[in-house]
Structure formats: C-alpha cells, structure tokens
Amino acid sequence: MANDYIIDIQHLSKSFGGVKVLDDINFYIRRGEFITLLGPSGCGKTTLLRQIAGFIAPDEGRILLEGKDISGIPPYQRPLNTVFQRYALFPHLDVYDNIAFGLKLQKVPPKEIEKRVKKMLKMVSMTDYEDRSVDSLSGGQQQRVAIARALVNYPKVLLLDEPLAALDLKMRKDMQLELKEIHRKMGITFIYVTHDQEEALTLSDTIVVMNEGKIQQIGTPIDIYNEPVNCFVADFIGESNILKGRMIRDRRVAFLKHEFDCVDEGFGEDVPVDVVVRPEDIYFTTDPAKCQFKAKVNSCIFKGVHYEMWVDTDTGYELMIQDYDPYPVGSEVMLYIDPDDIQVMHKERTRNVYEGTMVDQTHVDMMGGVFECLPQEGIGAGDKVQAVIRFEDVDLLDHQEDGVVAGEVHFLIYKGDHYHLTVRTEDDYRIWVDTNDIWDKGDLVGVNIAPEAIKLTRCND
C-alpha cells in the first residue's frame, strides 16, 4: 500500500538574491489534515506556501500532489485554492460575484453556481450579504468571504496565509473556532501559515516549526509543546524555562546546580544538554520531603487564569512559575519538578568552531576579520587552522566599530542565569555567545575575542 499523502514535498530549496530562504525542505501532508507552518517572520513559511500554490518556482526539489509532480504547473491549473493574508477580494465585484468567480471560470451552470455560492455563504454565516460590495464589509466579514471564495471550488487543498493576522483578538479567537469547524465539515486538507504559536496549537493536527528556512520540528501540538527538540522550538512555543544542564546518566540530569530524576534516556553519560521546564510544571510544596530546591519569590503578577511568578533559586537562577495560587513577594518557597515534566534536549553545539588562516604567528584571519591570538608551536603564517572559542569567551561591545567584526544580535534565549545569544556577523557568520549583559534582538554589536580564548589547532589537509 502506498501512502495516503496528499502532498509530498521533497528537497525543496529556494534562494532570493543569494539568501537561502528555504533549505532542503522535506515533509508530507496527510489527506484531510490541518497542518500549520509555524515560525517567526522571515523563516520561509510564506515562501513555502507560495511555492505550493504555484506563485514561486522552486530552485530545487519538487512538490508532489497525489503522487504527481506539480512543480511546473501554473497556479491556475492547480486544484488548490488560497486564502490570502489581506483577503484580496475583488473590489469591483460584489460578494456573490467574488465567490462565484472560480466557478464561472470553470463554466459551471448558473443554477449550480447559485446553489454552491448560497451553500458557502451559509457555511461562513454570511447569508443575505450576497449583493453587498466587499468594501462595505468588516475585516471579519471579508475574511469569511475570502474563505468561501476559495472553498466553493472544492479544492483538494486549501492554503491559508496568515488569514487571521489582520483581525482583533476577540474576532481572531472566534474565527479560529469557525475555521476548525469548517475544516471538520468540509474534510479538505488545510495548510495554514502563521507566526502565532497559540493559533497553531489551537487549530492544527500537525505543526511544522520553521526557522531560517529549515524545518525545526514536525509533530502534533502536544508533541511540540511537551517535547521540543531544541531551544528554538522550546522558546518559540509557549513560555519556558530553558536551562543549561548535564546528563549524568540515563534518567538522571543535573541543572540549577541540583540533580533531578527524569525520563530521558540515550544521551550518554556526563553529556552537556539543554533542559526545558514549562512554568506550569514547577510545583510549590510545603512538604520538606518532596522539596527538591528552595527559592525566593521575586515578583508575582496576576494573569487572569493564573499567577506568573519569577523566583530566585538558592543556587542563583531565575525561573518563571505559573500557578493558580499566588505566593507573596519575598517569601521563601519549596519547589519540585516531576520527572515527566523535564524535557532534555541535545545541545546543537557546545562551543564556537571556525576555520581560519594564520596571517602571522599571532594573528588569525577568520569570520571576515583578523583576530589576535597567542603564538602556537608549529603553526605559522599561511597555515589553515581550526579555532575553538567557548561561548562565554566572546566579548560583545556596544559599538560595531570597536569590535574586530561587526554583527547583529539575531536570536537570544534567557537560560536562568545568563543569556545565550546568536550573533550574525556582516559576512553572515554565526557566533554563539553566553553573557550576563542584557541585549535585545536587533542590537548592533562589535565582536571581540581575547587572544588567550582562541584555541587553535592546525588542519591536517
């Protein structure tokens, strides 16, 4: 038995002006599924959707629809329909003619068109609006017409490009429920693009988390929330405490300078890892026997359903905790975490590694700059070297011109007692930095590295 994948995406890549927007994307979509492409702006999710719709041709790879390659087929011949971000309702046509547009092109008999348009209007609760001009509709109503216009053609797949982004919060919540209901009624495969993680969790059967043109994780909302595979996913989906840890052995992990039982296996012994604990998974207790570590409440804010508290642990870490009961600021509390709620993740890297060339005995050319280094036995001018720099040894400076290379803070995660930053240099190198200083995403920084912090080895080729 072959698969029941309605869409199969194989090795899809796309660059715009030398920048790789999509990098070797592979995944499949099951028939009837509600799948969401989720990621921050610029992650490539919209480009991917537009390639499926046919507006952008892939550089490499192919898109199979029911087993047939549709990469070379123009949009108007693809049995897919799109709901556009800004609706793109035709301003010169009324609601009825907007919805009937696709059917008229297919030369469906007028009687049949009328039947189907009316049915769709009913489905999106817009009966009696057929003669209205689209300009006279509210954002939510325009959205409904856009959905009806796409669905009336009974597409094999419905593509939705951030369809709720322009609506206000209350309206968005209502439309989310309606979309889910429409999906259930129609049984059509939905591919949904959003940067709103909550929306993705609410709506989807499957979520594809993307960042920088790559798929980070594919899974059900529950999988993605409970078992993020890396810091990016953990940070992007929901609130989380992300902490540096060390796997002691199977089912035993150290973080916050304490040891905890956990359920993860197969990481090896004494291996550096990242640990995610959701704020709602840290529990207060009054039983000293259950207490795993102590902390002092630093702040407590009412958030509606729960209280959000920041606590300082006895070992000097800051943690976010969500609980239904408030604890007074300044109070000493006892805390514990269930082994099930500790999510251990492989570290993507533990240090910076770069290739470079020696300029002379004490200077190495790497990352588009010349860094001073300590003289090394047997390494001289012109030698190719590998440089290793620990995260905490990279200095970030306020002014770009003060650094050996200039960069921009691209991504950052708070890890309880320090920040972990990704800095992108002007020559598009990535430098990972651990620092206690507070930086914001988008800050322009100079990058410096002390000579003694650069560990050089000669490359053997």
Partner 1 sequence: MIKRSYWSLPYLIFMVVFVVLPLVLIVLYAFQDGSGHFTLSNIARFFTDSDSLQTFALSIEVAIENTLICILLGYPAAWILANRKLNRSAVTVMLFIMPMWINALMRTLATAELFNMFGITLGKGTLLFGMVYDYIPFMIYPIYNILMKMDNSYAEAAEDLGATPWKVFWKITVPLSMPGVMSGVLMVFMPTVSTFAISEFLTNNKIKLFGTIIQENINSSMWNYGAALAFIMLLIIGITSLFNDNKDSQAEGGLI
Binding site for partner 1 (CB under 8 A): 53, 55, 74-77, 80-82, 84, 86, 88-92, 101-102, 105-106, 149-150, 153
177, containing H or E segment: helix 169-186
Q: Residue 26 in 3-state DSSP?
A: strand
Q: Work out how close the CB of 161 gets to partner 1 at its nearest, in angstroms, rounded to a whole number.
A: 10
Output DSSP code: residue 291: -
Query: Which residue type is seen at 127?
Result: T
Could you tell me the smallest distance in angstroms from the CB atom of residue 101 to partner 1? 5
Q: Least Å distance between CB 190 and partner 1?
A: 15
CB of 228 to partner 1, least distance (A): 34
Tell me the DSSP string of 39-61.
Answer: -STTSSHHHHHHHHHTSS--SEE
Residue 177, CB half-sphere, CA atoms under 13 Å: how many? 5
Q: Which is nearer to partner 1, 105 or 374 (CB)?
A: 105
Taking the CA atoms of residue 359, residue 361, residue 363 and residue 366 in that order, the dihedral angle to the nearest 10 degrees is 60
In angstroms, give the least distance from the CB of 153 to partner 1. Answer: 7
Start-to-end CA distance of the chain, whole Å, equals: 49
Question: What SS3 state is found at 181?
Answer: helix
DSSP SS3 for 30: strand
Residues in CB range of 92: below 8 A, 6 or more apart: none
Q: At 134, which helix (H) or strand (E)? A: none
Question: How many angstroms separate the CA atoms of 154 and 427, rounded?
Answer: 48
Q: How far apart are CA 161 and CA 118, in angstroms?
A: 25
Q: Quote the least distance from Cβ 99 to partner 1, whole Å.
A: 10
**Least distance (Å) between residue 33 CB and partner 1:** 21
Q: Which is closer to partner 1, CB of 86 or CB of 399?
A: 86
Q: Measured from the CB atom, is 29 or 152 closer to partner 1?
A: 152
In angstroms, the CA 94 to CA 97 distance is: 5
Min dist CB 48 to partner 1, Å, is 16
- Residue nearer to partner 1 on the CB measure, 99 or 453: 99
* Minimum gap (Å) between residue 385 Cβ and partner 1: 45
Sign of the torsion formed by the C-alpha atoms of 348, 353, 355 and 356: positive
Q: Which residue lies nearer to partner 1 by CB, 149 or 183?
A: 149
Q: Residue 34's beta-bridge partner residues?
A: 190
Nearer to partner 1, 77 or 436 (CB): 77
Report helix, strand or coil for 282. Answer: strand
Smaller CB distance to partner 1: residue 94 or 308? 94
The least distance separating partner 1 from the CB of residue 139, rounded to whole angstroms, comes to 16
The secondary structure of residue 133, as a DSSP letter, is B
Give yes or no for a contact between 35 and 47, defined as CB atoms under 8 angstroms apart: no
Of 153 and 240, nearer to partner 1 (C-beta) is: 153
**DSSP strand pairing (157-161 vs 80-83):** parallel
Closer CB to partner 1, 101 or 283, in the complex: 101
User: Is the separation of the CB atoms in 210 and 216 below 8 Å?
Assistant: yes
